[in-house]
Structure 1
Amino acid sequence: MNYRFARSTILAGLLVPAIVHAQEQSGRIAGKIFDKATGQPIVEASLVLLDASNFTQTDAQGAYFFDGVPTGTYTVRVYKVGYEPFDVSGVEVTQGRTNSLDIALPRRESTESTQPTTSTTSSSSTEVDSSSPEQIFELAAMEVTAESVRAQNVEVVAIRQQSLGVIDALSSDNMSRFAVSDVAEAITKVTGINVSDGKYAVVRGLNDRYTTTQLNGVVMPSPDPDRQAVQLDIFPSAMIDQLIANKTFTPDLPGESSGGSLNIKTKGIPEERIMGLSVGFGLRDNTSFNDNFITSDVGNDDWLAQGYDDRVFPQSDTNGGVIAPNEEGEPGLNYSGSISYGDRFKIFGDQEVGFIGALSWKRDYYYREIMRAERRGDFRLGEGVVALTSLENPGDTTEQPWGIWNNGIEEVTLSGLASLSYRPLKNQEFRYTFFFTRNGTEDAEILPPMDWDDDGDSLFYFSSLGYSERELQLHQFEGHHFLPELMNSNLDWSYSYSTSLQDEVIRNLKFFRYNESTQTYSVDRSGDRKIVQFSRETDQENQIGKLDYTLPLEFIPLDTAPRLKVGGQYENVDREFIQLQSSSVRPFSNLESPLDAFGTSVYVQNAGGEWIENGVAEGPATGNREIKAGYLMAEVPFNFLSMYHKFVAGARYEDAAIEFDGVGTISGINFFPSYGELRPIDEDTWLPAVALNTDVTDSFKIRLAYSRTVARPSFRELAPFPTYSLADNSIEFGNPGEVTLITGDDPVVDGLEQSRVDNYDVRFEYYFGDADLVSVNFFYKQVANPIERYEVLPDRFTFENNENSGTLKGVEFEVNKNLGFMGDFWSVFNLGGNATYVDAKVERSELELGPYGWDQNGASLLPRERQFYDQPEYILNGYFNFRQEDWGTDVTLSANWVSARLSSVGYLPQSTLSIYDEEVTTLNLVISQKLTDNLSIKFSAKNLLDPWINQVYDPELVDLGASNPDNEPDSDIYRGLENPYARSSYKKGRSFSISISYDFF
């Protein structure tokens, strides 16, 4: 045994260096083969290395792979029956690296074809056996260089050709060249899309209600169960194969893709072994090391985004007391880190297995000094204008006083993504994908003591703390099957199961009155100024099954076979919601606590003052969403007038049912609507789509499209009970059916319906150079029943309604241009951007105008149309890029400007005004530098202009002169605010970060 062990050790010692040396002296060539005319992947195309006699064939996705190729320069020959033999010369293989090479293969010219085809330098008159390397070696072939092929951006062009609608795309090779670290950063390279809050995609300015996010073609639920958007910064670029942005609807997409659909396609079997590590740190100029930062310092596991259990209050608070989470701390730097690993190998002969996984973590701090002025109007009958009430009377409970609120936010995000693929045959693949993300956010806020009494003897104080913990776990199983025995058809299926959790705890210390003479606090119980605290837990379970079958109709005598696509999808979502509430309802004597107790203590025990009543559970409330969908569509390519056309027609049927049961209250508020009959949504809809794509020339293309889509309300918008929002301190009320908002004199609301959107698109594209593009897109949308947010009371009480209709008319202009036409020196510079103008109008609803919006003749006192909810009029994006691949340097300066957006709709019966988010301009700089083949460093400077973030009252309806006749800047109507119409103003601060990345292979 010892002898055998010694012999094995000696042999291993001799073989391992030899194997390692062989691996070090070899590399790989990998890529995909596409049909140059249609962009479809070519299955079982044959490839040989003329200089090394290596042979392989493409799989069901058109992918090929040469492994263990000795370092050197080679010529790759590609052949497939019906296509021209194609040679790519100058393909370099370096040790331990993979040379990615995608090839668009031209079809063999046919005498019956009316479509011009790419001419060849030579061609074979007879077909050969594509499985015979010897015969392929003897073929005469057209020849191009690897450099020219790579410059064509083949995969992205192929994706566009395959598309049935208007799309833009990025490949994994693009993301590598752009040196992006995650999908949020990558999507900024796609024209027509910008990123909100550094992580949410916005298509043509439409909010996430009108945009869907898919993971490998299946709708992905958001980690936040109250919104549709998915955080894109949690997907590392190392895991992504393709990023596809569909800007028009086709029947194989979800019906809620009115604005667009973003499909994140993860890698299956990686082209090579990968392992990467990245660490980063950064600061925000108004936050880092700021000793005024507001925090609680309660959670022991906040760094793992698990702080809810440390903050939730018990159902029975026997000791009584109040929470004062206004501890001042000094946050340090922001931190981030990620690691990824992947590999491929063969089992049982030629069966392939691939694995790829990534894990990331980051911690960010934000500090804001928010200047607020909550004001209501005094609507003047017959004049159609509103005078804002001044802020001289803080005792009026219908107003919130102006002041500077100190706000501190700490956010931790932990996410992971893993994929395991198995390919038993070249044309069969099975894949399992697991995705996990957890986010923990603490939001602490105080209003420092201020003097609002005429006698100057009493100060007022406000404090609040909120913590939310969100988690999403997703399991996805999918299969892709190419079936040559069934007319070369494709069968794709997937099943996705996910659970999402959202736990929140919110504590408000409302208003405390501080008596300077006695140096004691007392609770101001006037109006709704009570101590309120509550926690809520939301559990959601999602199941989605999807089946797609694509059949080429090769028996039809056309140059390119038409394709028939049919499929179905089933989605079921179950939600359970429970809210635990407590409120200060026992009026005792003053709190005998000194001022410093409220400045440092986290939990102030009862001191003979206000007690907290035992918690009361108001639920659970349950919701269900079920969607059954099926579709049929046909793609017919044809040649007419020497131009290549692709006609697409089809329809999608969706049967949707959404319901939410349960009631609840929030103690300590003075408003609650009257809910009558609850009316769940139960609608079946046909969604047709027609498109015609025309290639006038290889460079100039025209795309026409019409489609119908829908937008559905969320569970939160249907819930028949109030919910406190951490985002803006508002109380949100759902609209599940027959609702009376304030009094019997107010109109009765009939409940939310799903919105219907008719979409029209005309797009002109002109490609020139390698990846240069100029395009103009005209679009028109008719929206029936758009879901909008109403400000029904001035104290941030909001409500959802959709009883009107609107239109969006717009034009989008895009340009991307390399400046090499000015000379070789300029070839490393790129300039681009896009501009979108949208004329979006909606009719004012009966609810908005109420009984006071009309004159004695029944005419509206206000314009009958106003701006569409949450839709900017202008969006401008621009970038200037310097990329010198020989140096490994990439520098991008990008700018974004978004015009004002309607944030909430006013409610004249209560004299509340519409509120707008003012225009914002951002400027970002990103510098990436490769230090070695494996090591790189990146510097980012974001929000360099640091503009004011203003929310303003509708400037067209406000008469400032009525509240401030002398127009004095130091008047209460102006004091402390950046804008005289402002409701709130703050700055986000500039952020600077550095990250270092190392690739081990």
Structure 2
Amino acid sequence: MKIKLTILALSFFIGLFAHNSTNIITGKVFDAKTNEPLPLVSVSVTDLKTGTSTDFEGTFMLTLPDGSYQLEFKTLGYVPVVKEITVKDHKTVFLTIRMEEAKQELDEVVINVSHRKNTETSVLSLQKNAIAIVDGLSSQAFRNSGLSNVATAVKKIVGVSVKNGKYVYVRGLGDRYTKTILNKMDIPGLDPDRNTIQMDLFPTAILDNVLVYKTFTADLPADFTGGVVNLVTKDFPARKEQTLSIGSSYNPIMNVNQNFLTYQGGRLDFLAIDDGTYSIPIDINEKIPYTFEHDSKLTEITKKFNPELGAIPQQNFLNYNFSYYIGNRFDVSDKGKSLGYIANISYRTDYKMYDNIQQNNYKKNSDKDVYDLEMAKQQTGNLGVTNVILNALGGITYKTGHSKYKFNLLHIRNGEKNSGVFNQDYNESDFVTFKNHYLAYTQRQITNAFLSGIHSNLEKKFKTTWQISATKSGIYDKDVRSTPYQLDNNQYSIAPNNQPKRIWRYLGEMDYVAKADFEKTLKDHHNKWQFGLLSSFKDRDYSIYLYQIGIKGISTFEGNGNELLAEQNIWTPQTDRGSYIINQSVYNLSNLYNAKQINASAYTSAQYKLTDKLKTVLGLRLEKFMMLYTGQNTTRTLKFDNDIVIDKLDLFPSVNFTYSLTDDSNLRLSYARTTARPSFKEASIAEIFDPLSNMTFIGNIHLKPTYIQNADIRFESYSDKTDMFALSGFYKYFKDPIELAFYQAAPSNFTPKNLGNAQVYGLELEWRKNLQFISPSLKHFKFNTNLSVIQSKMMMYDEEYQLRLNTAR
């Protein structure tokens, strides 16, 4: 049972205002059918005979004293709209105006408006008028549901699930087939075992909305199948705005637990910063003597290593978090030029305690007449996890009547401390029991610099958008400590073939992406032509440094992890007995590699309105993809030096049809070809050991990309402002899907392989309904539900098929 208790939640707006009461009326004007912003719309205040006009993004702003007013919106070819508003007390009112195309003489539309921006309505409008199948959540939905990070928020989107509270699955497809982008630009993952970034690292406080594109269009990257998750960061507000939130949560199992497992660690762990506690204490190239050399330097080196090897029980605290946001806008001239900024800092600490967790591996009996599976390995124990996340975002925007320039700088730090004690029973070649003490500290960080510009030529109806992004990311597993004691006849000892390990793993990556998109609105504003270019370069370094603790002259221990490197148990030349450090890194060069990815893309797309109710988008994307690899195997017989391991030139067509059954309902059909490429680690000859599971990953340099045929159909209906109903069906055919396979001769080793072909198909249902139809007093309550039913099939590869035949019962 989980109980969540909000200890303190404080959210307020602070403004430094002048004594005279002026109010800001701002907003955007859209085409009601296409959801495209409308420039050069006349916005007049009829009572004051003053006004303004919308810029190239369809935005406008007015400053008015307290009172009631009529705003009139007019532009050629559209039905005029009149809004009645009342403003006072230094309010900022945001209006969303949707103008209907004029087909005949119609009276003006007069609508009373609220003083609140409804971003949930905006996201639903985007879904309704999008050229592809899109689902999403707005910042308003984040606030209403109390969602603090994207991982918890995105689960509310139909067809989306989150594994381990971090990794997004879309339509039942894992991170290999799901892509995460930030402001429509690639960002690297922070886990060498994953192809996507951890979603719990992003606080909702820095985002305007989260959009999940489930069908491919030519302007999107082609390396996705399940969906593309686009995180859209905040834009600057209309006037100065500050928000502070502080919160806490409590779980009776996880928090204020006297048996919470942890260890001392470093002084700056609470800031996700290593103060040097977790660094390798010696030069990685320093030669470590052997015991037979009787060199006291071995004793000195051993003493430099942190002797803390065992978890200790210690009472933890409540989960807690805070976030501070500030933004403002300034007019820099009387010609519509403005400057805005935003800044946000967020912090969160969470505790998780897992009691009696169990991991089992099974095997078949060699006797084919025995049908029951046998236990090959069983691991049970307790694990404590302390997770710290620190985020900072700063941005500045400069806007003119025809252009907009934006620069954002984002930094995220994450520190995760794991402490566990496990009993491990092996039943493979022999029967062995171990008690394993496990300590690990993982530090993740990502820094993203983003620069973009939008330029609009209103006369020629031509828009240019360019974006440049540079990202530095790193994940550092620092001093992962695995200390297994073999238990035999109630006595603990160190097995010669399973010595304690100290592991440091470093992954560093630099990503550079440049993108340009061009859009031409044709004579009929419903028809458009788009084309664009993209270039990306990714450079990853990966290294593992492995040290072991050898034992000489001591046969039994008490099973306490911290006793192993206690000063009285360290080897010295005088005693010639005790524990000492062994450098294993020099023997396993497969732990080191460098890899690069280069992608050069171009696309063209045409949007046509074939009839009053039917529109289509035809697109074609060209991608030239290369992967280069540098590394060698353990025996040094196979070497790569910046060699090309993947070189593909591919075309990715897409077609999307949208038929408007009514003004508020659509029927959509789509087809596209996409791809899923091997990760850096997979297309390699690296051999990476996991000390917690005792499993070893072995790369496959011969992997091929997967190619997918995608087909979708969707019915959707929208009513009121936030009501909607959608029913979707999809089918996907995979050629050469990449899956993990185990070796028959070494079941603790696994490797990625291309496995024939596969199919995935399913249905999705989503329903959102405001409850005011029951009673007007329930207008602030909503009913939301979604359901996904997904079926997958995979054809086995020849080796697996033959293996199953050989062991068939």
Contact map agreement 1:489 1:550 (CA 8 A) in 2: yes
User: In structure 2, do the counterparts of structure 1 residues 197 and 755 end up closer, same or farther at CA, with 3 Å as the change threshold?
Assistant: same
2:494 equivalent to 1:523: yes
Q: After alignment, is 72-81 or 787-796 more displaced?
A: 787-796
State how far apart, in whole Å, the 2-side matches of 1:92 and 1:249 are: 44
2:130 equivalent to 1:166: no
Contact map agreement 1:753 1:802 (CA 8 A) in 2: yes
Instruction: From 82, 88, 95, give the equivalent of 2:77.
Output: 82
Contact map agreement 1:432 1:476 (CA 8 A) in 2: yes
1:315-330 to structure 2, matched below 5 A, reads 315=284, 316=286, 318-319=298-299, 320=302, 324-330=309-315
The aligned residue for residue 832 of structure 1 is 784
User: In structure 2, do the counterparts of structure 1 residues 382 and 360 end up closer, same or farther at CA, with 3 Å as the change threshold?
Assistant: same
Instruction: From 463, 470, 473, give the equivalent of 1:497.
Output: 470
Contact map agreement 1:510 1:530 (CA 8 A) in 2: yes
State how far apart, in whole Å, the 1-side matches of 2:89 and 2:315 are: 49
Q: After alignment, is 429-438 or 721-730 more displaced?
A: 721-730
Partner of 2:788: helix, strand, or coil?
strand
The aligned residue for residue 91 of structure 2 is 97
The aligned residue for residue 246 of structure 1 is 213
User: In structure 2, do the counterparts of structure 1 residues 817 and 245 end up closer, same or farther at CA, with 3 Å as the change threshold?
Assistant: same
1:445-460 to structure 2, matched below 5 A, reads 445-447=420-422, 460=434
State how far apart, in whole Å, the 2-side matches of 1:419 and 1:150 are: 22
State how far apart, in whole Å, the 2-side matches of 1:776 and 1:473 are: 39
**1:198 Cα deviation after fit:** 3.6
Contact map agreement 1:48 1:76 (CA 8 A) in 2: yes
CA deviations over 1:932-987 (Å, ceiling 9, x no partner): xxxxxxxxxxxxxxxxxxxxxxxxx9xxxxxxxxxxxxxxxxxxxxxxxxxxxxxx
Amino acid corresponding to residue 41 of structure 1 in structure 2: P
CA deviations over 1:413-469 (Å, ceiling 9, x no partner): 11111211011x2120011111111111121221369999xxx9x985221222211
Instruction: From 724, 733, 736, give the equivalent of 2:689.
Output: 724
Instruction: From 792, 799, 809, give the equivalent of 1:847.
Output: 799
1:467-486 to structure 2, matched below 5 A, reads 467-485=441-459
1:296-695 to structure 2, matched below 5 A, reads 296-307=263-274, 309-313=276-280, 314=282, 315=284, 316=286, 318-319=298-299, 320=302, 324-349=309-334, 350-372=336-358, 374-379=360-365, 386-389=371-374, 399-400=376-377, 402=378, 404-423=380-399, 425-447=400-422, 460-485=434-459, 487-505=460-478, 506-513=480-487, 521-525=492-496, 528-554=497-523, 558=524, 560-584=525-549, 586=550, 588-590=552-554, 594=558, 598=562, 605-606=569-570, 608-614=577-583, 616-617=585-586, 618=589, 620-639=592-611, 643-663=612-632, 680-695=645-660
The aligned residue for residue 758 of structure 1 is 709
Contact map agreement 2:380 2:424 (CA 8 A) in 1: no
The aligned residue for residue 988 of structure 1 is none
CA deviations over 1:516-568 (Å, ceiling 9, x no partner): 6xxx742122xx422222212111110000010001121xxx5x441000001
1:886-905 to structure 2, matched below 5 A, reads none
**What is the number of residues matched between the two proteins?**
761
Contact map agreement 1:39 1:160 (CA 8 A) in 2: no
**1:577 Cα deviation after fit:** 1.6
User: In structure 2, do the counterparts of structure 1 residues 491 and 723 end up closer, same or farther at CA, with 3 Å as the change threshold?
Assistant: same
Amino acid corresponding to residue 404 of structure 1 in structure 2: T
State how far apart, in whole Å, the 2-side matches of 1:603 and 1:443 are: 25
The aligned residue for residue 574 of structure 2 is none
| TM-score relative to the length of structure 1 | 0.71
Partner of 1:159: helix, strand, or coil?
helix
Contact map agreement 1:183 1:232 (CA 8 A) in 2: yes
**1:835 Cα deviation after fit:** 1.4
Amino acid corresponding to residue 74 of structure 1 in structure 2: Y
**1:225 Cα deviation after fit:** 4.7
The aligned residue for residue 231 of structure 1 is 198
Contact map agreement 1:521 1:590 (CA 8 A) in 2: no
**1:360 Cα deviation after fit:** 0.8
The aligned residue for residue 21 of structure 1 is 19
**1:762 Cα deviation after fit:** 0.8
Partner of 2:662: helix, strand, or coil?
coil
The aligned residue for residue 809 of structure 1 is 761
Amino acid corresponding to residue 442 of structure 2 in structure 1: S
**1:844 Cα deviation after fit:** 1.3
Contact map agreement 1:236 1:358 (CA 8 A) in 2: no
1:86-165 to structure 2, matched below 5 A, reads 86-89=81-84, 91-110=85-104, 120=106, 122=107, 141-147=108-114, 155-165=122-132
The aligned residue for residue 784 of structure 1 is 735
CA deviations over 1:583-620 (Å, ceiling 9, x no partner): 24x55221675556747988885252342213535364
State how far apart, in whole Å, the 2-side matches of 1:459 and 1:734 are: 30
State how far apart, in whole Å, the 1-side matches of 2:759 and 2:779 are: 43
1:870-909 to structure 2, matched below 5 A, reads none
The aligned residue for residue 6 of structure 2 is none
State how far apart, in whole Å, the 2-side matches of 1:18 and 1:474 are: 31
User: % of aligned pairs identical?
Assistant: 25
| TM-score relative to the length of structure 2 | 0.87
Contact map agreement 2:259 2:313 (CA 8 A) in 1: yes
1:196-275 to structure 2, matched below 5 A, reads 196-275=163-242
CA deviations over 1:614-651 (Å, ceiling 9, x no partner): 35353642100111111011000132xxx521111011
State how far apart, in whole Å, the 2-side matches of 1:403 and 1:18 are: 60
Contact map agreement 2:28 2:37 (CA 8 A) in 1: yes
Instruction: From 813, 816, 820, give the equivalent of 2:772.
Output: 820
User: In structure 2, do the counterparts of structure 1 residues 460 and 814 end up closer, same or farther at CA, with 3 Å as the change threshold?
Assistant: closer
State how far apart, in whole Å, the 2-side matches of 1:770 and 1:162 are: 14
CA deviations over 1:253-300 (Å, ceiling 9, x no partner): 011121111222223332221111111222332232323222221212
**1:151 Cα deviation after fit:** 8.0
Amino acid corresponding to residue 735 of structure 2 in structure 1: A
Partner of 2:681: helix, strand, or coil?
helix
1:835-984 to structure 2, matched below 5 A, reads 835-850=787-802, 852-854=803-805
2:670 equivalent to 1:701: no
User: In structure 2, do the counterparts of structure 1 residues 569 and 282 end up closer, same or farther at CA, with 3 Å as the change threshold?
Assistant: same
The aligned residue for residue 11 of structure 1 is none
Instruction: From 236, 257, 260, give the equivalent of 1:290.
Output: 257
CA deviations over 1:752-804 (Å, ceiling 9, x no partner): 11111100001111223332222211111001111112233676432111131
Contact map agreement 1:324 1:603 (CA 8 A) in 2: no
User: In structure 2, do the counterparts of structure 1 residues 188 and 449 end up closer, same or farther at CA, with 3 Å as the change threshold?
Assistant: closer
Partner of 1:848: helix, strand, or coil?
helix
Contact map agreement 1:417 1:435 (CA 8 A) in 2: yes
**1:157 Cα deviation after fit:** 4.6
State how far apart, in whole Å, the 2-side matches of 1:372 and 1:277 are: 41
State how far apart, in whole Å, the 2-side matches of 1:628 and 1:448 are: 50
CA deviations over 1:139-198 (Å, ceiling 9, x no partner): xx3212215998896533542355221112344455555554444444344333334444
Amino acid corresponding to residue 553 of structure 1 in structure 2: L
User: In structure 2, do the counterparts of structure 1 residues 689 and 236 end up closer, same or farther at CA, with 3 Å as the change threshold?
Assistant: same
User: In structure 2, do the counterparts of structure 1 residues 260 and 447 end up closer, same or farther at CA, with 3 Å as the change threshold?
Assistant: closer
Partner of 2:597: helix, strand, or coil?
strand
Amino acid corresponding to residue 476 of structure 2 in structure 1: D
State how far apart, in whole Å, the 2-side matches of 1:188 and 1:779 are: 19
State how far apart, in whole Å, the 1-side matches of 2:705 and 2:379 are: 40
State how far apart, in whole Å, the 2-side matches of 1:419 and 1:306 are: 24
Contact map agreement 2:56 2:458 (CA 8 A) in 1: no
Contact map agreement 2:260 2:314 (CA 8 A) in 1: yes
